[in-house]
Amino acid sequence: MAGTVGAQAFESVEVGQSSRSANPANIDALLDQMTLDEKIGQLVQRMGGRSKALNSRLGPDELEKVRRGEVGSYLHVAGAEPLRELQRVAVEESRLGIPLLFSMDVVHGYRTIFPVPLAMAASWDPDTAVRHARIAATEASAAGLHWTFAPMVDIARDPRWGRIVEGAGEDAFLGSRMAVAQVRGFQGSDLAAADTIIAGAKHFGAYGAAEGGRDYAGAEVGKRTMQEVYLAPFRAAAEADTASYMTAFNAVDGVPTTGNAALLRTMLRDEWGWEGLLLSDWRAVEELMAHGVAGSRSDAARLALEASVDMDMVADVYAADLKAAIDADPALVPLLDQAVRRILETKRKLGLFDDPYKYHDAARESRVILSDDHRAAARTAAQRSIVLLKNEGDVLPLAKDAQHIALIGALADDALSQLGSWRARGMAEDVVTLRAALEAAHPNVTFAPGADSRSDDASGIPAAIAAAQSSDLIVLALGEDFDWSGEARSRSSLELPGRQRELFEALAATGKPLVVVLMGGRPLAIPEIAEKADAVLQTWLLGIEAGPAIVATLFGENNPGGKLPASFPRTTGQVPVNYDFLPSGRPADPDLTKDTARYMDQPITPLYAFGHGLSYTDFAYGEPMLDRSEIAADGGALTISVDVTNSGARGGDEVVQLYMRDPVANVSRPVKQLRGFRRVALAPGETKRVSFTLTADQFALWGPSGGWVIEPGEIELMIGSASDDIRGRTSFTITGRGAGRIAPAAIETRTLVMETGQ
């Protein structure tokens, strides 16, 4: 595009070259030099392009805004050289020389695309999440970026919500651990290092609780559930020092988050003590008018600033209308100064005042993007994210000499879908599909698309049946393509889309061994597959190394060890079906003559429960052991240990899961809550002891009058392989009464794995 910022259009600027960048030694002194317009400019984030047309808006008019100090940040920009020139204009041609922040949604990889976040949560391995975020930061920073809008830490208990794909699923504890891992991976140990970027935990509030699973819809959440479930991963991110948060689009109890001073200024900043950069979501400040809480753009600007929202993403409400709000109410000036100070401090922590060009090394960009090491890490992450849902008769793993394989399903050859949503700079040509990998690994494969997830065309089904009938076994790729999940991708039905169910039924009727490879970004209601398929692998959307990871798993080179981060319902009408529900005064009973908390037409249990995941081997659990029978509420701790043995013939991973229950309290407590987990690799016959150390804080509840309370009494502990596969139970007693500090699910449980000498 003529007149836009591009590498060919600029003078070369050496990395580390001196500039007119402002001296960061005294942020307050810099603030004193700023005009009102320059202060407001720091609160403005503008589009440098579109997600598929980066840098396309950076023409002469935009550069003039930078020179006048009217912009603090850009999104939808990338590239070491073009962003170096844009930064040069900011630091050498503006009055105060304040550097810009460059940002992008780098959610599960920059160019090296990893599994979607829900899939990585299925690894139950925070180290995998750290590694992903570290590589994403390395590549993104090499491309000139300072800031990502990730991790998304919204708890999602309704899989109809399309953005469940972007988070860690239904559980606050697992979600908290994945949130911390990604913040640490993105930000590293030193934000001033040239290969780190600031994390942007989102979407602050209860965005994942949207009514009916409809994106952007309001949420009606009780205070206890808000504190114990939806806010817990955000608190964990704060404890991990996330440098930024993004507000949610939706309203909670009628108050839009972007204008919610009680939630943002009072709780997040004053009570939690968090001092970072708070950004609105896309045009969310402007949308305060559509929510019906602001009568004008200046009203919207005032509400957002009063709520302590520091930066306005792309709506230009702060840019065009905040000044009018300040003229009407000069008491807003101190709030403006606070916001500017936080933004400048973030830029200082990144080291941009010391060296504004350190993120703009084109040689490093070329060297690190999509490196062999990064691809290898993406393959490992993909393998660790696969969940074995069913394996009737040990159909899997397939024998290496399997005679003739019919590979059916359009998704098996869909490279674009494996990139998932928010693919940053991922490219379809980088993806190795299931078809490509299987044909490379096995000499006798016949492929037929059969049916597409986005089409009602059934004309390909006869050819798929013919391919199956002339083969020895069927590998069938089913599910959703990338465009079925993500932002604004809510569904009213969780059944297989398109004519895929018809395809499945036809193939099941052939009587051939049938392995289903289930792809997509959410749990689906698949009772017919659970009943009739011989084996089911949940493979999600696995990134650029999807095909090799799936094929390695099919043939047993990778023994699947993933577990579900969200329950699979039997039907859409069953949702939400989260594992940690409250007990009923009339517990479910299969006897339909009794009035209990059940359905008339099906079991109340999920099809596949939270934490479920099989292996090609078996694991035996010993009896759980406690190091004490009671702890004090005002600071006690205990350790629970269990021996886990691989009792099968293959090496494999087991995710040992620790759950708790408070059976008698001042408020009804969930039937179980996750409080620890550890993924352990075991050779055949090997035993390891897994120990979890918990503090009294992890048994706190949000009290009837508000605030965290640790109540005296018995606590039950359960250890097992899934939320519905408990292998051992024990209990202890809390003595006295105490006050918890933060959400129990946000507190990291200390774990230890040791050999037992066997």
Do 257 and 205 form a contact (C-beta atoms < 8 A)?
A: yes
Q: Which residues contact 430 (CB under 8 A, 6 or more apart)?
A: 111, 112, 113, 370, 544
Nearest to 468 by CA among 555, 405, 403: 405
Given CA atoms 676, 681, 687, 688 in this order, what sign does their dihedral have?
negative
At position 334, the amino acid (one-letter code) is: P
- Which segments of 146-242 does DSSP mark as H helices, in order? 172-187, 223-225, 232-239
Q: Is 428 exposed, middle or buried (0-12, 13-18, 19+ CB in 10 A)?
A: middle
Given CA atoms 266, 270, 272, 274 in this order, what sign does their dihedral have?
positive
At position 397, the amino acid (one-letter code) is: P
| Separation CA 22–CA 380 (nearest Å) | 44
DSSP track, 709-742:
EB--EEEEEEEEEETTEEEEEEEEEEES-B--SS
SS3 label, residue 35: coil
Residue 533 CA: distances (Å) to CA of 158, 347, 455, 463, 510: 25, 54, 23, 20, 12
Q: Which residues contact 363 (CB under 8 A, 6 or more apart)?
A: none
Q: Which residues pair with 483 in a beta bridge?
A: none
Q: Is 738 exposed, middle or buried (0-12, 13-18, 19+ CB in 10 A)?
A: buried
Q: Using only C-alpha atoms, what is the Rg of the chain?
A: 27
Do 30 and 22 form a contact (C-beta atoms < 8 A)?
A: yes
Q: Is 112 exposed, middle or buried (0-12, 13-18, 19+ CB in 10 A)?
A: buried
| Residue keyed to tokens 């600027």 | 13
| Residue keyed to tokens 């075991």 | 682
The question of whether 281 is a catalytic residue gets the answer: yes
Nearest to 498 by CA among 541, 554, 455, 546: 455
At position 723, the amino acid (one-letter code) is: S
Among 105, 154, 215, 281, the one annotated catalytic: 281
| Neighbour count for residue 488 (Cβ, 10 Å) | 9
| Separation CA 203–CA 307 (nearest Å) | 15
Do 84 and 26 form a contact (C-beta atoms < 8 A)?
A: no
Q: Which two tokens stand for residue 215?
A: 């994106």
Residues known to be catalytic: 281
